[in-house]
């Protein structure tokens, strides 16, 4: 029997981590003595660091960029995190109904775990899928497919929720129902271009929609 499952992106979907990520990127930029647009960097949030780096610092400095960012993150981005209002009650309400809830992120596991520890939410989710868990990353469907395996769920019984086109493309590619939220890093127009099945602007809209989908 397939388990009803909801998969969430983390950055910009469940938690307001974007200011911390941008502050870490600014510190990385200063440390490396390079210049790149933070607006460009923000548009790349949702990709693994190694895939963001070429557009920001060039292919030849990818390793340096990743290492510098990871050195800076614990004291900056690791601390600047909070759940969006209503997220924690939503997760608990879903689990009360027997729905499996997981995180699918391009973040490294240590960075996500630091954020969850800061939020006192290490035990809130049934599982996490991070950068290290798959060879390919969002927008490739592999991370979502990995999550479905962990949940024991068929795509028809699963929903992927995210704030970026990478989340929606990954969910669509895996055959899940997809929901785009508009309170994250990307504009409504940008995320709509990935063709989500649904789009919501508020957390209470998301909650109502999720319970409707899970009942159908």
pLDDT in tens, 152-176: 999 999 999 999 999 999 999 999 9
Question: Distance between CA atoms of 167 and 196, rounded to whole angstroms?
Answer: 9
Question: Distance between CA atoms of 168 and 194, rounded to whole angstroms?
Answer: 6
Among 208, 162, 210, 174, which Cα is nearest to 9's? 162
Active-site residue, 9 included: yes
Task: Kindly list the structural domains of the chain, giving each domain's residue range(s) and its CATH number in brackets, ordered by start.
Answer: 5-16+82-215 (3.40.50.1000), 18-75 (1.10.150)
Mean residue pLDDT of the chain comes to 96
Among 184, 136, 179, which Cα is nearest to 158's? 179
pLDDT in tens, 56-108: 999 999 999 999 999 999 999 999 999 999 999 999 999 999 999 999 999 99
Instruction: Give the three-class secondary structure for 190.
Output: helix
List, as one string, the DSSP characters of 116-141: HHHTT-TTSSSEEE-GGG-SS-TTSS
Which pLDDT belongs to residue 3?
87
Q: Report pTM.
A: 0.94
State yes or no: pLDDT of 1 exceeds 60.
no
């Amino acid at each position: 029997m397939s388990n009803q499952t909801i998969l969430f992106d983390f950055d910009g979907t469940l938690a307001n981590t974007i200011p911390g990520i941008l502050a870490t990127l600014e510190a990385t930029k200063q440390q490396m003595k390079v210049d790149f647009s933070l607006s460009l960097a923000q548009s790349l949030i949702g990709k693994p660091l190694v895939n963001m780096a070429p557009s920001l610092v060039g292919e030849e400095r990818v390793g340096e960029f990743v290492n510098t960012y990871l050195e800076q993150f614990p004291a900056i981005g690791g601390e600047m995190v909070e759940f969006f209002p209503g997220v924690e009650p939503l997760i608990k309400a879903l689990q009360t109904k027997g729905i499996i809830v997981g995180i699918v992120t391009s973040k490294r596991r240590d960075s996500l775990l630091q954020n969850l520890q800061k939020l006192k939410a290490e035990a809130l989710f049934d599982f996490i899928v991070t950068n290290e868990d798959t060879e390919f990353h969002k927008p490739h469907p592999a991370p979502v497919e990995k999550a479905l395996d962990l949940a024991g769920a068929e795509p028809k019984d699963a929903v992927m929720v995210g704030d970026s086109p990478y989340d929606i493309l990954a969910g669509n590619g895996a055959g899940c129902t997809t929901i785009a939220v508009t309170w994250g890093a990307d504009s409504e127009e940008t995320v709509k271009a990935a063709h989500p099945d649904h789009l919501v602007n508020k957390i209470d809209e998301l909650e109502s929609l999720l319970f409707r989908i899970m009942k159908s």
